[in-house]
Amino acid sequence: MDFPTEIIGEKAYIRVTSDLDTEVAGEALRSAFNDMYDQGKRTIVLDLSGAQIINSYGIGKVLMCYKRLKAENGVLMVKPLSGFVKETFELLMLDKLLPEDKDR
Partner 1 sequence: MSVASTPPSILLADGDAHSREVFGSFFERRGWQYDVIPDSRLLGAALDKSPYDIVIADVALPGVDSLQMLQDVLRKHPSQAIIALSKDASYDEALSFFRSGATDLLARPIDFLWLERIVQQVVCSRRHEERERISYGFVTSERTEMRFSCRDIIELDTVPLPIVGRLQAIGALDQHEAIRVRLAVQEAVLNALEHGNLRLESRWKEELQPGGEDRFTALRRERLLDPSYAGLAIFVTVLYQDGMLEIEVKDEGQGFLNAPASAAPRKSHDVPCSGRGLALMSSAVDEVVFGKNGSEVTLRKATKRVRSA
Residues 6+ apart with CB under 8 A from 16: 3, 25, 29, 46, 47, 48, 50, 51
Binding residue for partner 1, selected from 19, 74, 75, 86, defined by CB under 8 A: 19
- The answer to the question of residue 92 lying near partner 1 (CB under 8 A) is yes
Binding residue for partner 1, selected from 5, 15, 30, 74, defined by CB under 8 A: 30
CA triplet 22, 103, 48: central angle to 5 degrees?
10
The rounded distance, in Å, linking the Cα atoms of 11 and 43 is 5
DSSP bridge pairs for 7 = 12
Comparison of 8 and 84: residue with beta carbon closer to partner 1? 84
Binding residue for partner 1, selected from 21, 42, 43, 86, defined by CB under 8 A: 21
Residues 6+ apart with CB under 8 A from 80: 100, 102
- The answer to the question of residue 97 lying near partner 1 (CB under 8 A) is yes
Q: Which residue ranges make up the site for partner 1 (CB under 8 A)?
A: 1, 17-19, 21-23, 26, 30, 33-34, 37, 52-53, 55-57, 59-60, 63-64, 66-68, 84, 88, 91-92, 97
